[in-house]
Amino acid sequence: MKKNFILDYAHLLLKQYISFDDIVVDATMGNGLDTLFLSEISKKVYAFDIQEKAIFETNKRLTLHQITNVELILDTHEHINQYVDGYKAVIFNLGYLPNGDKSITTRTDSTIHAISSILPKIPLDGFIQLVVYTGHDEGKKESESLNIFLSELDSNLYKVIKTELPYQDNYPPYIFMIHKVKDES
Ligand SMILES: C[S@@+](CC[C@H](N)C(=O)[O-])C[C@H]1O[C@@H](n2cnc3c(N)ncnc32)[C@H](O)[C@@H]1O
């Protein structure tokens, strides 16, 4: 394990559930670390961000690693279904771009709107992974709303797992995994 325990742990979970014939979505591309990781364990990755800087940084990273199975899309993750027909999993690393403009952050309404549009589209055994940060104001609101929203999902259809560091100071991030275990209808 490297120094960011929760991010490493999130990657371990992805490795467990994603295979080389899966199509996956990185809903928050940022600097492309997660996009690169996903590209190495799946068939194809679609990565979204609303910032040109994210596209630039991620493209640079993927080129350096000679990665060719990724499509980078400059648009909000609320529009994923307009670009991608089917996917096994969607991952969100919430918050703002590290070393970037902290005012451009994921927001409660758009995050929940995106998740609501993704849930009906993920297949049985598909999942959404969220890495959630509570150490800034918008992140705290986002975390509170997500906890309420996810608590109201039908637990026969979705198993929600929360992985956190309860005894660590300084607002460590935590992980939600939302697994679809039964089809709607
Ligand atoms: C914590 S960073 C992601 C880090 C990234 N996964 C990595 O490996 O470097 C969060 C990113 O979400 C992006 N973002 C914020 N709102 C968004 C939205 N509505 N749709 C897509 N991306 C968004 C931000 O621009 C920022 O780059």
How far does residue 163's CA lie from ligand 1's centre (Å)? 21
pLDDT tens for 125-137 read 999 999 999 999 9
pLDDT digit string, tens, across residues 144-172: 999 999 999 999 999 999 999 999 999 99
The structure's pTM equals 0.97
- Average predicted confidence (pLDDT) for the chain: 96
DSSP per-residue string spanning 34-52: HHHHHHTTSSEEEEEES-H
Instruction: Confirm or reject: Cβ of 48 under 6 Å from ligand 1.
Output: yes
Whether CATH 3.90.650.10 fits 5-180: no
pLDDT digits (tens, 9 = 90+) for 140-149: 999 999 999 9
Q: Is the pLDDT confidence value at 2 over 80?
A: no
Confidence (pLDDT) at 12? 98
How many angstroms is it from 96 CA to the middle of ligand 1? Answer: 6
Question: Which among 38, 80, 106 is the best mutation to test ligand 1's pocket, defined by most ligand atoms within 8 Å of the CB?
Answer: 106
CB-based contact 83:18 (threshold 8 Å) = no
Strand, helix or coil for residue 104: coil
What distance in Å separates the CA atoms of residue 129 and residue 125, rounded to the nearest whole number?
A: 13
- 66-111 pLDDT, tens digit per residue, is 999 999 999 999 999 999 999 999 999 999 988 888 999 999 999 9
